[in-house]
Structure 1
Amino acid sequence: MNSKNIIDQPLSGLGYLLKGIQLLRHPQLRVFVLIPLLINVLIFASAFWFLFSSITTWIESYMQDLPTFLSWLSYILWPIIIFTILFSFSFIFSTIANLIAAPFNGLLAEKTEILLTNAQINDDGWQDIFKDLPRILKRECQKWLYFLPRMLGCLILFFVPVIGQTLAPIVWFIFAGWMMAIQYADYPFDNHKVSFLTMRKTLATRFGKNITFGMIISFCTTIPLVNFIIMPIAVCGATAAWVDIYKKQVLDNPLNLIE
């Protein structure tokens, strides 16, 4: 595959996901997809079995808290709440899957970048990846320290009568998209030891593109079967965006790198 034909100009958020699908089919990447794919299948199969056995009870309990004079809103809130629960569960379990698969996703991002640029990044092998586990887990903890306070803020909205309960699903969907964008973009950034703060600020300069990318990923995690393969697709798509948009901009400034 000719790397010059893969990335000609910056794409939309959807465009980079489609590019991820294209890259995932490349023979050089298939072996690096297997472990993240298996992790995703096991976690999402378990999560959705539990979710679909409990979702009706949760929704009915939530609806009982609505004031009687707003009971007519139930017809509007039912689909919104269903999507919110699906997105919430999908985000939580995709985050767990990403935590477990982080070393392998980092390797997939590295091999994708090599394919796109024909330039070596690291000389890491499988043994080096396991040696690097403490640093990888530290990076994942940085993400959670950023995510958790904001997730709690979204959660509190669900308990605010009327306005909060109506806005909470929308706010959650948008923020979940931003979290997904950060989650997957972090792999190629981290491969170059770019600090987490720099990565967030860099993504924010193209917020619309990245929020679209993340929201589509969030939506895909709610679709059976698609949710099994979305993780490696997102890693490849985010790496393509790194090569195309961010790499030169970030690496030209040594202050962006982790000390």
Structure 2
Amino acid sequence: MDASRIASPVTGVVGRFLAGAGLLLRGLGLYVRSPGLMLLGVVPALISGVLFLAALATLVYFVDDLAALVTPFADDWSSTGRSLVRVIAGLAFLGLGGLLGVLTFTAVTLVIGDPFYEKISEQVEQRYGGTPGAVDVPFWSSLRRSLADSVRLVALTALVGIPLFVAGFIPVVGQTVVPVIGAAVGGWFLAVELVGAPFYRRGMRLPQRRTILKADRPTALGFGVAVFLCFLIPLGAVLIMPAAVAGATLLARRSMGQPIEES
């Protein structure tokens, strides 16, 4: 498959980015029209949400201690200077925690809710013409592959997140530019993570889906950033997860040149 020809640009970069964000809205529309199935998808997200809210609360509770731990050089500074550098350090910790939290939340939720999200993705595919080239993948084999690919993605996110964490110490830039870059990085990895089910259904693994999404990166980024921002809202990840799975199925179909309009 020639990934460079799958999704040739038909609009500008901004238009494609907005079209990607629009796929999440379409996923929400499918959510409204199939509430019974979609509500099942909230259950695993709710379980993960409780775990990750506890982890976030723990991070917030200890963030001052962590900030002091990484800034021992400020111990002898004036009270104002010491407080400023440690507030910046605390914000950097929260930013890194948020980035990793969103990605690991998605990975864990997809593993916990694999049967539910697989069903949601299948129903979306059937609505728009089925799955060309579908392969029969046993459940346990699919689960192992999904888990392995999720671990790889989270590890890669951590490697990217460390430089962003360090950059978060830079005054002004660390509180303005770095969060934007973090949202873009998180959005990209979310898009790659969420399209896993439709790609597995076609017998394609992580390297192939990355290559195919890169052929129309603005669309993938638009979808991923929209999901990322929704996941930052309290309870947003729990409520949006089923719609994100539906929207990701549309993104996968679009990226592979398959119809996403009902005939």
Is residue 60–residue 94 contact of structure 2 (8 Å, CA) maintained in 1?
no
Cross-structure match for 2:192: 182
Secondary structure in 1 matching 2:195: helix
Determine if contact 1:29/1:112 at 8 Å carries over to the other structure: no
Give the one of 120, 123, 137 matched to 1:111. Answer: 123
Deviates more, 1:101-110 or 1:79-88: 79-88
SS in 2 for 1:117: coil
Maintained 8 Å contact 2:66/2:90: no
Amino acid at match of 2:125: E
Q: What residue number does 2:226 align with?
A: 216
In the alignment, is residue 90 of structure 1 matched against residue 90 of structure 2?
no
RMSD: 4.1
Is residue 23 from structure 1 mapped to residue 30 from structure 2 by the alignment? yes
Q: Distance in 2 between matches of 1:213 and 1:33?
A: 19
Aligned to 1:248: 257
Aligned to 1:255: none
Q: Does 1:14 align with 2:21?
A: yes
Distance 1:157 1:203 in 2: 28
Structure 1's 156 and 80: CA in aligned 2 closer, same or farther, altered over 3 A? closer
Q: Do the aligned residues in 1 keep the contact of 2:121 with 2:246 (CA within 8 Å)? A: yes
Q: 1:54 aligns with which of 62, 84, 92?
A: 62
* Number of residue pairs matched by the alignment: 237
Note closer, same or farther for the CA distance 1:212–1:71 as it changes in structure 2 (3 Å cut): farther
Deviation (angstroms), 1:58: 4.2
Q: Is the 8 A contact 1:179 1:214 kept in 2?
A: yes
Residue 236 of structure 1 is matched in structure 2 by: 246
Percent identity, aligned pairs only? 20
Match of 1:101 among 101, 106, 112: 112
Q: 1:143 is paired with a residue of what secondary structure? A: helix
Q: CA deviation at 1:32?
A: 4.7
Given that 1:40 and 1:97 are in contact with CA atoms closer than 8 Å, whether structure 2 keeps it comes out as yes
1:177–1:214 CA contact under 8 A, matched in 2: yes
- Tell which deviates more after alignment, 230-239 or 161-170: 161-170
CA contact (8 A) 2:195 2:252 kept: yes
Cα distance between partner residues in 2 of 1:61 and 1:179: 30
Moved more, 44-53 or 70-79: 70-79
**Alignment pair present for 1:204 and 2:211:** no
TM-score by length of 1: 0.69
Q: Residue type of the partner of 1:134?
A: R
Q: Which moved more, 1:179-188 or 1:56-65?
A: 56-65
Corresponding residue number in structure 2 for 1:38:
46
SS at match of 1:221: helix
1:182–1:200 contact (8 Å) kept in structure 2: yes
Distance verdict in 2 for CA 1:68–1:79, change over 3 Å: same
State the AA in 2 paired with 1:189: F
Give the TM-score taking structure 2 as reference length: 0.68
Q: Does 1:193 align with 2:203?
A: yes
Letter in 2 for 1:36: P
